[in-house]
Structure 1
Amino acid sequence: MIVKRLLTSIPLLFVMSVLVFSMIALVPGDAATTIAGGGNASPQVVQQIREELNLDEPFFVQYATWLKSAVQFDFGESLYSQRPVADELLERLPVTLSLALAVFAIVIPLALVLGIVGGLRPGGLGDRGMMFGTSVVVSMPPFWIGMVLISVFSVSLGWLPPYGYTAFADDPAGWARSIILPAVALAAAGVAMLSRQLRAGLADTMQSAYVRTAWAKGGDTRRVVVGHALKNSAIPAATVLGLMVGSILGSTVIVEQIFNIPGIGSYMIAAVSSKDVPVIQATALLFVVAHIIANLMVDISYGYLNPKVRAA
């Protein structure tokens, strides 16, 4: 099953790579002149950019050259810093990964607790409170939540730093202090969406015949809920969790900028501002690959949660 999913991901990755590379064709007018700064750019700078991006070659020749290098994790040099893009990505990737791990460390346990509380007693006081709270949180964009968190916990209370990042290897406690506010800002909507999905699935599953049979056989709450009902109701939630990867990656672009975190998101924002095409292409392709890997993990989780998927 895993091999089949990997093989089906290859055509998707190929199509997305073509779209990512085609971004340079969307630059209006002469791409080299526009990237160099417009009509006032010196001919030498324009020619240098034209050579670095192989703009003198036909489009498909350009793409083949770029793809051959990209497969080897070689995206050329940044037009702004003159450093290899791959080196700068490797410096910033651990920062974004640590932020993503912190987000999911918040999302998964909180969503499980809220989803179980609401799903076991649908219509109860806890369920209604959870549904109201999650409805409010879903409507709040992550960047707004981030600014509110900075205003409350950094400016007013002074408990946490308002911006900056500390590497985990240098200071684990400092890393936790620097990552908690952006992680909460990114995780809030995820907790709300995932808990609502889990609550809906669990409420339906608890009414099924096999769950009533498990209760009739004398099963305790842990065995019936965790061993039977929760596993089956987690399939739709796994889909939502996979889709959240894309939304979280998209939100990191703004949240990292707000909290001045030197990750992939802020790197992409700086590249867009400076028209650094090699960096934009590399970061966009990295986001695409992360999304495809997330979908692959969701498919694998289907096989674990539902044996029928493995058989199919």
Structure 2
Amino acid sequence: MLGRLVGFRLMGIVPQLALVSVAIFLLTYLIPGSPAAVLLGPRATPEGIAELEERLGLDQPLVVQFVEWVGGVLRGDLGTSWFGNKPVTKVISEHLLPTISLTVGGILVAILLGMSAGIVAALRPGALLDRIVGLGTATGLAVPSFWLGVILLGYLAVQLGWFPVLSWTPPSQDVGLWLRGLVLPSIAVGIAGSAVIARHTRSAMLETLAAPYVQTLRAMGTPRRTIVARYAIKNTMVPILSVIAFQLSTLIAASFVVEQVFTIPGIGTQLINAVARKDVPVVQGITLVVAAAVIMIYLLADIGYALLNPRARPQ
């Protein structure tokens, strides 16, 4: 049954990627201005712009350009950057590790902090600790990640010197410095997600603790710690898994902004620079890779949901 679920979800990925590719291609051509004019600079002439557009294939109809782009994608060729004449796949591969490191760090902060706070708050609803968690989640949702990143960087890194000002160090150079540099960006990225996870965890835990089987276990004399650790947390994870998947996809977008604050050379930085200089192949390639990653995240979430909840598996 699980294999059937995976096969069904994989079949759905094909039309999703097709729609996403069409949207990405069309949206990139809605960017105002001519990329050829940007490439040639302020002294560009109409003749020079027309010649460069012809060389880049921008004078062809959109349908022809789209078919050529899709054909390249199916062959594993995302095109070549118009600035630097570098393959887009190489641009992504060279800057993918910083973004993955930041995203993984952010989701770990969100899961550990959010689930811990939600469980603690649910164990004593209405108590002082529950109110503190509620205030903390409201604050976490209200604070922008980039603003929090600026505060953390200015105080903990610049003034106190507890963390490096330059947050990115390749792990091949120094693993310890790599981990230290990721602490502040991960917190900045993960705080908002932890607030969302904490709220949902609290609600799910309260519902689980009020279930009839929990009352039966209590009547049988099962210690509360055993009930929470062996039964309640596992059943709480079923609805929380979809929340974590959604937060992970949100953290990818948030990491693009936080990369600018902490000067992290990830694909988010490359995407923002490519949009500013109208480097269409890089914009299309990075956006397609990110969209495919988000689709895979939801696929894995569906599989994990089916593992935790057998009733969700196809009959």
Under TM normalisation by the shorter chain, which class is it? over 0.9
How many residue pairs were aligned? Answer: 310
Letter in 2 for 1:205: T
**Does the alignment pair 1:13 with 2:17?**
yes
**Pairing partner for 1:169 from 150, 155, 172:** 172
Matches within 5 A, 1:106-121: 106-121=109-124
Matches within 5 A, 1:63-212: 63-212=66-215
- Structure 1 match to 2:257: 254
- Structure 1 match to 2:275: 272
Matched-pair contact (CA < 8 Å) for 1:36–1:49:
no
Distance 1:55 1:283 in 2: 20
- Structure 1 match to 2:241: 238
- Give 1:252 shift: 1.6
- Structure 1 match to 2:291: 288
Shift in CA distance, 269/230, structure 1 to aligned 2, threshold 3 Å? same
Matched-pair contact (CA < 8 Å) for 2:107–2:248:
no
- 291-300 vs 234-243, which moves further: 234-243
Aligned with 1:26: secondary structure? coil
Q: What is the root-mean-square deviation in Å for CA atoms of aligned residues?
A: 1.9
Deviations 1:236-279 (A, max 9, x none): 32122111122211112211011111101111111111111111
- Which protein has greater RCO, CA pairs closer than 8 Å, 6+ apart? 2
- Structure 2 match to 1:308: 311
Deviations 1:160-183 (A, max 9, x none): 122341011221111012111111
Matched-pair contact (CA < 8 Å) for 1:167–1:175:
yes
Distance 2:231 2:189 in 1: 31
Q: Percent identity?
A: 34
Matched-pair contact (CA < 8 Å) for 2:35–2:278:
no
**Pairing partner for 1:298 from 294, 298, 301:** 301
Shift in CA distance, 138/58, structure 1 to aligned 2, threshold 3 Å? same
Query: Tell me, which stretches of 5 or more residues in structure 2 are unaligned?
Result: none
